[in-house]
Structures are given as C-alpha cells and as structure tokens.
C-alpha cells in the first residue's frame, strides 16, 4: 500500500514531537492503553477493561491484557506501562498538566498499574486514551536506554529502537524519501469487533510505504497514475477533479479544526474586552469562511467549540453571540470601549492559506465598524515566535481543534499565546481538571463556552475539513481524523 503524505516525519519517537504526521504514521507501530471508539468515547486497547476509579476520583487502577508482545518478542507488562507513562509524564505537555498532581504510580503485579493523585483527576482517561495525547507504550528497556540519569532528561528514541505492540513494525525510514512499515505477524488483536481506533485490528497488507509529496499537482498525478493508493491530504480545490475520476474516491475528513483569530490579552489594544466584543459583533463567519475556503464542502459555521462528531461535547451555548454580523452593535461597543482608532496589529501568514485569507476578509468586516487593522504577513515560524511576545502584536491567526476533551487545548489557559485569564473561562477550565462526573464536566464545558463568548479570548470563524483521496481498489478506508490503515485492504 503506497501512501502519499504531505511532509516527512519529525521523529519515529511518538513523544518527541507533536506533528500529526508523526502520530498518524507511527500510530500503526505503537499502541495506547485506551483508545477512541467510532463515537469518540474511550475504550480499552492494551488495557484489559475500563479503568477502576476510586470513589474520591484519586486512585486509578489499570488492568493490562495478557499475552501481548512487543515487536522484539518480549511480553508487555506493567513494568513497561509504568516506564512509558513516567516518560509521558516527563516529556509531554499533556502529561505534565493533567498528571501534575500524580503522587505515586506503581506496578502492583505484572498486569496491574495503580496511579494515585493528590486531587481528583477528571482528565486522565482522555489524556492517556486520546491519540494526540501520545501516551503510547514502549518496552521499559528502551525507555531506560534513552533516559539520561545524570541530566534527568529523555533522549530521542532512534529508528532501531522504535519498538511497539502494533499491527505494523518499522522497517526503514529514509529521511525525506520514505517510511516503510511491515506487517507484525505476531500481533495479538483484541476479540471485540473493530470500533473506531479500537477493537480488532487486522494488518491486511504486507507493507505500507509512506512517501512525502509536497507539490499538490505531483500528488494528484501520482494518484491518477496509480503510483499512490492513498493521499493523506489533498487541497480542497482538487475535489471536483478527484470526484470526477472513475478510479478515485474523495474522502472528507471530519471533525476538523477551527480557523481563528486570537487576541493578545496581556498587553495592548486586545486587553479591552469591549473592543473584542465589537470585533465579534462585526464578524460574519459565513462570509469569512466563504472567502477562506474555495469549496463549501470543506467548512462549516457553528457556535460550538467542538464539532458534532464529538458527541456530547457539542453545544450551542452562546450561539446568539456567534454569528451576529451586526455593524451597528459593533460601533456601539466601540464607543463604550477605550479604543481610539489605533491600528490593530494582526500577525498572519500565507504559509497556511486559510490563515491569511480569513484575516483578510475579517479585517475588512471589522473596518466597517471602525476597527483599523494592520495585517503583518510573515512566514509561519515567525508568527509562532512573535505570538509569544506581548509587545509585537494585538492578534494572531492560527487553527485550533477540539481533541476529545476540553483539556485537550491550551487555548483557554494563561500560559498559551494570547494569555487567556478571563474569570469565567479560568474557573471552568480549572474545575474540569479535578471533576470526574461526566454530567458535571459537560456543564462545566458549557460554562466555559459561555465564558468564551462573553469574554472573547479569540474569535472562531468556522471549522475546516481535510480532503483525503484513495484509488477505487482501496477498501474499508475511514473518514476519521486519525489515519488508520489497519483493517484496510487492496483489491
């Protein structure tokens, strides 16, 4: 199976970096204790069953499956799980934040792990079960090999030690050329039917070859000719051409991420909440997205910070403030603000077309209300650097996705660029960390979203969807965000 990807890996070490391509490729090699069902609930993967949680929400007991082996033939045990979770706790942002109050983690026996926290923990299952959380399982001896005990830091795991429990094994990574995975003939699947990322996994193809292809035309030509079976990401502008080819199948990937504009709330014009409310009132999300994405199949406009695909997390709380398109109200709010007509410095980039185009359309809408915008265009690395500098901008463009739980993004916290310190949001976000009851967590999420619209830390214009494509002889390919090539076969 030949797959065209839009960029090369950053590392074969899943905890070494956060690019989606790392987890989508190496997610065939490594596995998690828990994973996501088709309905985006959390179900056991390398764990035997659901976690046992104490009544006070502070002690979590994980029972592991027996008979699972790593690619090197070693048994997967609780010692490996503890070592992997300790590494995850040290290395990843999610591990550091959601497991911040971890007191002890012990292997009670060969197949039981106990985690004890000093406070109730409402986000642990999400943190170790969501594929973006990167809490994958390594052999303990690999973790130990790459841990510098003197410096007390973890080193990057190299190709030869990229050992997991998954249905595929890493055969070779040729930088900027290809990543080759081969079937793990000793894989032990779960007994349950396939369900999202969970349940039974079958490695139908002998080998999967991922090839970085950055030029969209080269990618499309490769699909048409049969050089590639699957495109990881194609431009939406190619949808009609792909859809009209009898040998190709377009796949629209949902949920997506939001095109947003984030205010600097630490210093400058963006600290004025009335100004932020005015910008929100002046925004017509439908017009912004129509000017940003060329095909309306690839965006949607709705108030919820989480798409409908996320089930109970979808909520219309605050929807009366989302698509106001009310210039008169915006002008009134400006008159109540401290804004004196200064230029709002908006840093954006053409490296991501949607960032520049959404900024361009929205800034013209805001100007109708009297908000003057100075678009400052640079490359993406410069935007990333400058958005952490409180003196150089008032607003920046980016994309923000919902990742399975409100705690999946740092955008509602004081430490993330833009620096959200809004009382309503902070109160709800802080409570979500320790609340374990699902109904209460949902109510806190609704409180957070109401605070989002009341206090406007950033403006979300709309949700963007990705285009993938396959040849007709590819079967059982899914439209999930996370690339899954187990259970997929070629005719």
**pLDDT tens by residue, 262-299:** 999 999 999 999 999 999 999 999 999 999 998 999 99
**What DSSP string describes 281-319?**
HH--HHHHHHHH-SSGGGEE--S-SS-GGGGGG---TTG
Question: Helices 423-434 & 438-455, crossing angle to 10 degrees?
Answer: 160
If we measure between CA atoms, which residue out of 110, 132, 118 comes closest to residue 58?
118
Show which of 158, 182, 206 is a domain's final residue: 182
In a domain, 109, yes or no: yes
Question: Under 8 Å CB-to-CB from 328, ≥6 apart: which residues?
Answer: none
Token pair, residue 153, equals 């830091």
Give the pLDDT mean for 347-363: 95
Does one domain contain both 155 and 268? no
**Claim to verify: residue 287 and residue 392 sit in the same structural domain:** yes
* Domain total of the chain: 2
- Report the chain's mean pLDDT, rounded to a whole number: 95
Identify the pLDDT of residue 486. 98
Residue ending a domain, among 182, 202, 231, is 182
* Percent of all residues in the chain with a pLDDT value above 70, rounded to a whole number: 100
Structural domain contains residue 271: yes
Q: Per the domain annotation, does 235 fall within a domain?
A: no
Q: In this structure, are 273 and 136 located in the same domain?
A: no
334 and 422, same domain (yes or no): yes
In this predicted structure, the answer to whether residue 17 has a pLDDT above a threshold of 80 is no
Q: Are residues 173 and 309 in the same domain?
A: no
CATH of the domain at 127: 3.90.76.10
Q: Are 193 and 185 in contact (CB under 8 A)?
A: no
In a domain? residue 125: yes
Of all residues in the chain, the percent with pLDDT exceeding 90 is 91
Asked if residue 483 has pLDDT above 90, the reply is: yes
Kindly tell me if the per-residue pLDDT of 408 is higher than 90.
Answer: no
Q: Does residue 7 surpass a pLDDT of 90?
A: no
Q: Same domain for 142 and 34?
A: yes
Give the pLDDT score at 97. Answer: 87
Q: Domain for residue 435, yes or no? A: yes
Domain encompassing residue 40: 2-182
Q: In this predicted structure, what is the pLDDT of residue 19?
A: 75
Model confidence at 95, pLDDT cuts 50, 70, 90, reads very high
Q: What are phi and psi of 385, to 5 degrees?
A: -70, -45
Q: pLDDT at residue 392 above 80?
A: yes
CATH of the domain at 359: 3.10.105.10
* 168 and 259 fall within a common domain: no
Give the confidence band of 403 by pLDDT, cuts at 50, 70, 90.
confident
147 backbone dihedrals φ, ψ, rounded to 5°: -105, 120
Q: Which of 136, 157, 182 is where one domain is finished?
A: 182
* Four-residue CA torsion sign, 332, 336, 340, 343: negative
Together in a domain, 261 and 159: no
Residue 381 has pLDDT above 90, yes or no: no
CA-closest candidate to residue 458, choices 423, 412, 408, 401: 412
Per-residue pLDDT tens for 165-174?
Answer: 999 999 999 9
Give the pLDDT confidence score for residue 66 in this predicted structure: 97
């Amino acid at each position: 199976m030949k797959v065209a990807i839009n960029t090369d890996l950053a590392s074969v070490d899943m905890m070494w970096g956060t690019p989606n391509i790392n987890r989508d490729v190496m997610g065939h090699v490594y596995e998690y204790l828990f994973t996501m069902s088709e309905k985006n609930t959390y179900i056991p993967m390398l764990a035997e069953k659901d976690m046992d949680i104490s009544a006070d929400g502070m002690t979590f007991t994980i029972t592991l499956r027996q008979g699972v082996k790593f690619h090197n033939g070693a048994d997967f045990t609780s010692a490996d799980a503890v070592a992997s979770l300790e590494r995850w706790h040290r290395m990843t942002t999610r591990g550091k934040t959601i497991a911040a109050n971890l007191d002890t983690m012990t292997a009670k026996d060969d197949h039981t792990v106990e985690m004890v926290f000093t406070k109730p923990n409402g986000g642990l299952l999400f943190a170790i079960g969501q594929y973006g959380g990167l809490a994958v399982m390594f052999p303990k001896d690999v973790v130990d090999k790459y841990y510098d005990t003197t410096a007390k830091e973890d080193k990057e795991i190299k190709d030869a030690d990229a050992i997991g429990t998954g249905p595929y094994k890493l055969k070779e990574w040729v930088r900027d050329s290809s990543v080759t995975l081969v079937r793990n003939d000793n894989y032990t699947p779960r007994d349950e039917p396939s369900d999202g990322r969970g349940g039974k996994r079958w490695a139908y193809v002998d080998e999967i070859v991922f090839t970085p292809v950055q030029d969209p035309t080269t990618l499309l030509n490769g699909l048409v000719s049969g050089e590639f079976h699957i495109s990881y990401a194609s431009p939406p502008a190619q949808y009609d051409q792909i859809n009209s080819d009898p040998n190709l199948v377009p796949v629209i990937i949902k949920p997506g991420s939001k095109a947003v504009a984030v205010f600097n709330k630490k210093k400058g014009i963006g600290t004025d909440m009335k100004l932020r409310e005015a910008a929100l009132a002046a925004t017509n999300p439908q017009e912004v997205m129509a000017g940003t994405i060329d095909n309306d199949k690839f965006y949607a406009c709705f108030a919820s910070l989480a798409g409908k695909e996320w089930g109970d997390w979808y909520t219309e709380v605050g929807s009366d403030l989302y698509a106001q398109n009310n210039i008169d109200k915006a002008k009134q709010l400006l008159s109540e603000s401290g804004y004196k007509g200064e230029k709002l410095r908006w840093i954006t980039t053409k490296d991501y077309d949607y960032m520049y185009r959404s900024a361009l359309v929205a800034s013209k809408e805001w100007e109708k209300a009297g908000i003057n915008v100075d678009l400052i265009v640079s490359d993406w690395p410069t935007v990333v650097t400058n958005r952490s500098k409180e003196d150089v901008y008032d607003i920046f463009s980016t994309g923000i996705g919902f990742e399975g739980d409100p705690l999946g993004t740092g955008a509602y916290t004081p430490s993330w660029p833009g620096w959200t310190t809004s009382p309503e949001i902070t109160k709800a976000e802080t409570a979500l960390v320790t609340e374990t009851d699902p109904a209460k967590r949902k109510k806190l999420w609704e409180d957070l979203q109401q605070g989002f619209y009341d206090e406007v830390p950033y403006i979300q214009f709309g949700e963007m969807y990705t285009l993938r494509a396959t040849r007709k002889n590819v079967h059982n390919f899914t439209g999930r965000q996370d690339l899954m090539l187990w259970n997929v076969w070629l005719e």
